[in-house]
Structure formats: structure tokens, C-alpha cells
DNA sequence: GTGAAAGCGCTAACAG
DNA sequence: CTGTTAGCGCTTTCAC
């Protein structure tokens, strides 16, 4: 097996072996019905015999389309997890792994889901998917490389600098994910951050009737945070809650910082609810609240945003707004296919709905 | 932006715009030093001006190599999770998600890791990655399609039928993952199942001194299970434990079945240890043991194999043998590159080491 | 240092 | 139904 010493067979080889012209070989592959049965059989036999696999590159070149879609992700940051206390035993490492509850790396899982969604949708439509994580200094090369091989490109927000993106966009349609950049003229698919937060906050304020609220925001320059905060303010407005009555602090979307901020918030008169702009922050808040001896949700309810895995495993489990990452990936492919069929026309922005998941940290009712 | 109304610019356009021949344009791209600085600058300016991105397909066709590696996974089974109790509220679904601890879909996460590893390694080497999940009846098409566009193909075990694999292997080098198929003549990368289980069992028998053991195996026809079982028997032998003194039952690698089997095992005289051939089974055993009012690890220690996420979150956390999935992906790429440089030669089999993770269900010491 | 020309393997008219 | 013939966009000798 795995011979393949000599050059792979081509249409010419198949044609010669079956006594037809290369055109007929091509037909057998692409429009089998246009070939007489006997001929077709002979050609197919030759294909099998020779182990012929058509060159996708030649096809793409001749056919003016590749049938491949590119997906650019912002780099998998593979953090090698250093674990202590190793013992070696017969070539197999034995590790004392008690109590080291490794934190699942949220952002990575997030990409995985997008990727999976895109893959699913692409293959369903007979398209192949080319994945690349644009990282490091060679990013330009990579991006150009991918752009040169695909029919369309889906790019996760902040993965590729504008200039580069605009360059490659002159060759292939580009759709930007999770970042409403219509302004830049690209198609986009994003998630309805504002509506999600607004609905969640409405639950806290309207349904649970809580008025004593603190809000842990993210970095001010984060577009995600801005949208979520806007949704939050909307909810306040909807329910006639005075914005100034809400203590707002800005974190960095990280767990540790949120924990510190929460400690401070609890120092004075603890609020009845702490709404957070993302899950990591909410987990940090949870840490602080529980450490302070307060009960969740009995004394304080806590909410997050994102729907990361860690929130499903926390104690109590985290109420949050779940972003449909898999859908994001699928929608990206759909958007590209769409654009491919509709070469012209103004950029389109697709908004994906989110889902509020009420879990123990802020239940349906108190 | 996103103009791209007209056909994308080619080397000819760039050549014309900068007053050189297409050969020089090509040189500027591939061997910049072979071009006089002034010329180079003019060409690069034209490239930027026109928004030129080289066609990867034309390159591949002319250059006899694509710079792309294919990864074939056994289909992401996207199980849409039906959740009960939906309420709609302003376009955003609100879901009561209490207590529905959705089981993370182990096999999917598993692929994600492989994929990530492969991606990392590929881009590090300047190669692109094309991903495909071979599923459904169109699998042949997909596999051929991918095979026709790549320099090498990594295939996860049992994703592609032998015949198909042998066909495409005549065109590109193939490496099989997680399935020691040297016999079939392919290069392979797999994990040392036997050594892992042997080491883990040695811990149970040798270090903890347990002799009263039950073994929950997997399906008899699973190659993984066979290797693990062999490792287990080795350990028994190493420590002079009579194999017949070990009660062995065969499950299906599933949690539910394992639970049933464990209930039966506990009915008579409960063993001091239950060693399982995979994590899912171990979790099922854990369920049964705890339900029977026995304590883990105090009354019974339980071990698994795989290192799935759910085992990190169980109570108690599961002692297991962790398979380095990310490494599998990386090793796959390495193996392909290797083969590409060494066209001939006998198939190679790479064995990746595993890691025993001692957690609370079977701690370092009792 | 640069240009001319011959393919790479396939598809898609266009004839027969 | 089948064969002929141009290219698709780029790399790569081989001359100059």
C-alpha cells in the first residue's frame, strides 16, 4: 500500500487506459448521465484500477471556483498546563491531580463551537473548510494564503487588521463574525448582545422584583461590553429604575479582577443582585460572595453572560445569556454562500438570537 | 469595500501595472532577493494597489504541491439539545435550565482537541489545514475531494473504509490516527493504551495493595479495549495476582450499561477496586457505588480511562489515564511532513505516551 | 537581473 | 454521445 512512488495518475492516464478522450473522463466525473453506460463503466473501471483521484487544484483553476471556504480564528492559545507533583513510572507519567480543578479555557471552547458549526454547514453544502488561526508575525502570509485558496472567507472579530482584511476582500467575499462591522462594508454575523442583557435584566428587575442592583461591566473599549451595557440600561429604563441607583464597576472580563471588585461591592451594603457583563466575571463574583458567607441566590443573585462551560459546573450553577456559537459558524457559511450567489448588493448584517438560561445562581423565581 | 465586482487581478495585471514580466512578479513573491530593489518596490506597489492575492490553486498546480494537509474526522454529531420549559420574552428565549446538567459530548471534545493540535502544528510549519467530517452517504465524494486538494491526509480511526482509504492513499500519503494499523501499510500515530492501563493498575495493586478487584471492560471488538485489557492483565501478572480472582464484565463503553453492571457487581461481596476500560463506564460505576451508599475512595476505589472533561467535574473526581489528544493532532502533522520528505520507506508507527492522573476516586495513597 | 515559453491537470465550449 | 482545443494563474527552466 501507500505506493504512490510515481506521479499520481491524471485524466490523461485514465483516458488512455479506457480508450476515450480526457473530456469524457471529465464528464464521467461531473455529468455521468451525459455518457453512455458502457463507456462510463470502462472509465470508472480505469479510475479504480489506476487509483485516480482528481486534482482539486486543477479543477479549481479551470472551473473558477474552489468549493472551499476559509475560516480565520484568532489563534488557539495552547496553554500547556503545568501540573505539579509528577512521578515517573515505567514510561508513563503519573500525576497527582487532586484538587487542581483546571479552569477550562473558555475562549478556546468558544472557537471550537464556531468551527464545528461552520464545518457542519459547509459540508452539508458540499463545501470544504479550511481553518487557520491567524497568529504571530506570519499572519499576513497566512491570511493571504488562505484567501488565495478559497471562495469566501469568514473572519472572527479582531483576528485580522482592517488593512489586510480590505486587501483580501478584493479577491474573495469576507464575512466578519461576532463584530458588527457593517460600517466597514463587510457582511457580518453577530449575536444580539443588547437584547440578551436586556431580557436577563428584565427578569431580575421585573420578574424577581429586585431593585438593589450592582453591575460589573467589562473593559470600556469592548464592543461586546458596550452592547451589553446598553441592553442593561434599557432594562433599567423599561422598569423605571434610576440608573444612578445601580452601582457600576468596570472589570477586565477576568475572574480574578471581578472577585476583587465584588469584595469591595459587598463591603458596604450588599446589593440584592449582581449582574455581570460576562461569565468569567460572574464566577469571580460568585467566589467573593460565597467567601463572604452570603448565600446565592438566597441573599444575592448573580448573573453572567456567554454561556461558557464553567458556568454549568459551578456551584451554584450560573444563570447566563447563552451565545449560540455553533450557529455563528453555520451562519457564517450561509452568509458567504449567499454573497457568492449575489455578488453585488449592499453588505448584510445577520443578528443571531441569544438565549437566557436561568440556573441556580438566579432562578426563575425566588 | 468588498468591491471585487471584476475578476481578481492576476500576475499579468501586476506585471502590466509595474512594467515587468510575470516571471518577475513571481520572483518578487517567492525569491525577493533575486530581484533588483527598484523593480521589487514597483511590483510590490502594484500588488498593493491592485489588491492582488495569488491564487493558491494555480500555485499548487504549477508547483506540484499544495501546502495543505487534510484532516478527516468521524463526523461531528451535532445533537441539538432539546431543553424543556421555554418562555419567550421579547424575541429572546428564556429557558429554565436548572438541574439539567447537560452531559458534555465526550467524543466531540475529543475531536476538537485533535483538531486544535493539528492546526497548531500545521501553521507552525506554514501548512494549511483542511478539515472534513466524513459522514453520510457522500463520504466517498468528500474524501476524494479532500484527497485531491492536499499534500497529505490524516484520518481518524474508523472514519474511512479501508477500500476508500487505499484508493486515496495512491495519491497522497495517509496517516491513520488512534488505531495501530501498521498492518495495513499506513503510517500511524496512536496512544499507548496498554502501558497506560498497566501503570494505573500497578498503582491500584502495587502501591495501594488492593487485591480484590473487578474489571469493567468495553466491547470485545474494540481495539482500544483490547489493548487496555492486555495492559491490565500485564499488571496482574506483574504483581502475581491470579487473573481468575478478578471479576470481569463487558460493557459497551457507555455510562448507563456500566451502572447496571456495577449494581450486579456490588450485589455479592463488593470488591475493593473497580477498574474500568473508559471514563464513561467509570462514571456509571461511580453512580452505582454511591447510590449503594458506599464511599469512594474509602470503601471502593474507581478508575477510568480517557481523561474526558466530565471526569474532572464528577464527585469525586475521577482517576484516569489521560490521552494526549492535542499531541495526537500534532503528531499526525509531523508524521505527514515526515513522510512527504521521505516518500519511500516502510510505514512508521508513532506511539504517544499517556499520563495517569490520580484524582479523588483513587488517590495516590489511602 | 529579467523575459519568453512550456507546462501543471482539469473544465468547458465547440464541433462533429 | 464523444473528441478537440483553449485556457485557468502560476512556477520554472532556459536564454538573453
pLDDT per position as a tens digit, A92-107: 778 777 765 444 444 4
- In this predicted structure, which of A336-345, B79-88, B159-168, B307-316 has the lowest mean pLDDT? B79-88
Query: Around A353, how many Cα atoms within 13 Å sit in the side-chain half-sphere?
Result: 11
H helical segments located in A102-192:
106-124, 139-147, 162-169
Residue pair A141/B145 in contact (Cβ under 8 Å)? The answer is no
pLDDT score at A140: 84
| pTM for this predicted structure | 0.83
pLDDT above 50: residue B19: yes
Among B190, B225, B222, which Cα is nearest to B114's?
B190
Neighbours of A287 (CB within 10 A): 17
Average pLDDT value for residue range B78-105: 54
B196 to chain A, any CB pair closer than 8 A? The answer is yes
**B48 chain-A contacts, CB cut-off 8 A:** 167
**B6 chain-A contacts, CB cut-off 8 A:** none
Spell out, as residue ranges, where chain A has pLDDT lower than 70.
1-5, 75-91, 99-109, 134-137, 181-183
Q: Does the distance separating the beta carbons of A358 and B144 come in below 8 Å? A: no
pLDDT score at A146: 93
- In this predicted structure, which of B28-42, B174-188, B278-292, B310-324 has the lowest mean pLDDT? B174-188
Share of residues in chain B with pLDDT > 90 (%) = 62
* Distance from C-alpha of B350 to C-alpha of A22, rounded to nearest angstrom: 41
The residue count of chain B comes to 366
Q: Which nucleotides of C are covered by protein (CB under 7 A)?
A: 1-5, 7-13
Mean pLDDT, chain B, integer:
87
Residue of chain B nearest A70, judged by CA positions: B130
pLDDT score at B106: 42
A203 to chain B, any CB pair closer than 8 A? The answer is yes
Write down the residue that cell numbers 473530456 correspond to. Answer: A23
Among A292, A289, A275, which Cα is nearest to A236's?
A275
Q: Regarding beta strands B349-352 and A152-156, do their DSSP bridges make them parallel or antiparallel, or are they unpaired?
A: unpaired
Is the distance between the Cβ of A24 and the closest atom of strand C smaller than 7 Å? Answer: no
- What radius of gyration do chain B's Cα atoms show? 27
Q: Which nucleotides of D are covered by protein (CB under 7 A)?
A: 1-13
- In this predicted structure, which of A81-85, B64-68, B97-101 has the lowest mean pLDDT? A81-85
pLDDT score at B84: 46
pLDDT score at B185: 85
pLDDT score at B137: 62
Residue nearest to nucleotide C9 (CA to C1'): A58
* Distance from C-alpha of A158 to C-alpha of A11, rounded to nearest angstrom: 43
Average pLDDT value for residue range B226-238: 95
pLDDT score at A9: 95
Residue B82 confidence class, pLDDT cut points 50, 70, 90: very low
Residues 19-78 of chain A within 7 A of strand D, judged by CB, are 19-24, 27, 34-36, 38-40, 58, 61-62, 64
Cα-based distances in Å from B308 to B105, B108, B131, B318, B357: 9, 10, 23, 9, 11
- In this predicted structure, which of A100-109, B129-138, B178-187, B297-306 has the lowest mean pLDDT? A100-109
Across chain B, the runs of DSSP E, i.e. the strands, are 68-73, 86-89, 92-96, 128-133, 152-156, 174-177, 187-191, 213-217, 247-250, 273-276, 301-303, 320-322, 349-352, 355-358
- Interface size A-B, in CB pairs within 8 Å, comes to 296
Average pLDDT value for residue range B53-79: 85
Cα-based distances in Å from A287 to A118, A293, B51: 35, 10, 51
* Distance from C-alpha of B181 to C-alpha of B161, rounded to nearest angstrom: 13
A54-90 confidence digits (pLDDT tens):
999 999 999 888 999 999 987 655 444 444 444 444 4
Q: Estimate to the nearest angstrom the gap between the alpha carbon of B335 and the chain centroid.
A: 15
Q: Does the distance separating the beta carbons of B56 and A145 come in below 8 Å? A: yes
pLDDT score at A102: 45
Share of residues in chain B with pLDDT > 70 (%) = 89
Cα-based distances in Å from B320 to A149, B212, B312, B359: 43, 19, 10, 8
Reduced to 3 states, what is the DSSP secondary structure of residue B84?
A: coil
Sheet arrangement for strand A86-89? A86-89, A92-96, B355-358, B320-322
pLDDT score at A91: 67
Q: Positive or negative CA dihedral for A144, A146, A152, A158?
A: negative
Q: Does the distance separating the beta carbons of B128 and A146 come in below 8 Å? A: yes
Residue B66 confidence class, pLDDT cut points 50, 70, 90: very high
Amino acid at each position: 500500500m501507500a505506493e504512490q512512488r510515481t506521479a499520481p495518475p491524471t485524466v490523461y492516464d485514465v483516458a488512455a487506459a479506457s480508450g476515450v478522450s480526457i473530456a469524457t473522463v471529465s464528464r464521467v466525473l461531473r455529468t455521468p448521465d451525459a455518457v453512455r453506460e458502457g463507456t462510463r463503466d470502462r472509465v470508472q473501471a480505469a479510475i479504480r484500477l489506476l487509483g485516480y483521484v482528481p486534482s482539486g487544484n486543477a479543477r479549481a483553476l479551470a472551473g473558477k471556483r474552489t468549493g472551499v471556504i476559509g475560516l480565520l480564528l484568532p489563534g488557539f492559545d495552547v496553554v500547556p498546563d503545568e501540573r505539579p507533583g509528577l512521578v515517573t513510572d515505567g514510561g508513563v507519567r503519573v500525576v497527582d491531580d487532586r484538587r487542581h480543578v483546571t479552569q477550562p479555557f473558555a475562549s478556546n471552547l468558544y472557537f471550537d463551537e464556531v468551527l464545528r458549526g461552520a464545518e457542519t454547514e459547509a459540508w452539508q453544502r458540499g463545501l470544504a473548510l479550511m481553518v487557520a488561526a491567524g497568529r504571530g508575525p506570519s499572519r499576513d502570509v497566512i491570511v493571504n494564503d488562505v484567501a488565495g485558496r478559497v471562495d469566501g472567507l469568514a473572519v472572527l472579530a479582531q483576528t485580522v487588521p482592517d488593512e489586510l482584511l480590505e486587501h483580501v476582500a478584493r479577491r474573495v467575499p469576507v464575512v466578519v463574525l461576532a463584530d458588527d462591522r457593517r460600517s466597514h462594508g463587510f457582511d457580518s454575523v453577530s449575536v444580539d448582545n443588547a437584547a440578551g442583557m436586556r431580557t436577563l435584566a428584565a427578569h431580575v428587575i421585573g420578574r424577581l422584583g429586585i431593585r438593589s442592583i450592582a453591575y460589573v461591566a467589562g473593559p470600556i473599549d469592548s464592543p461586546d461590553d458596550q452592547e451589553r451595557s446598553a441592553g442593561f440600561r434599557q432594562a433599567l429604563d423599561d422598569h423605571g429604575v434610576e440608573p444612578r441607583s445601580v452601582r457600576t464597576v468596570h472589570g477586565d472580563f477576568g475572574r480574578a479582577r471581578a472577585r476583587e471588585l465584588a469584595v469591595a461591592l459587598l463591603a458596604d451594603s450588599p446589593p440584592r443582585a449582581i449582574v455581570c457583563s460576562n461569565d468569567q466575571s460572574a464566577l469571580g463574583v460568585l467566589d467573593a460572595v460565597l467567601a463572604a458567607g452570603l448565600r446565592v441566590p438566597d441573599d444575592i443573585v448573580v448573573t453572567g453572560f456567554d454561556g461558557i462551560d464553567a458556568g454549568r459546573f459551578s456551584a451554584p450553577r450560573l444563570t447566563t445569556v447563552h451565545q449560540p456559537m455553533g450557529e455563528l459558524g453555520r451562519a457564517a457559511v450561509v452568509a458567504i454562500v449567499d454573497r457568492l450567489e449575489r455578488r453585488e448588493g449592499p453588505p448584510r448584517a445577520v443578528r443571531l438570537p441569544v438565549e437566557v438560561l436561568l440556573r441556580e445562581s438566579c432562578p426563575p423565581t425566588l
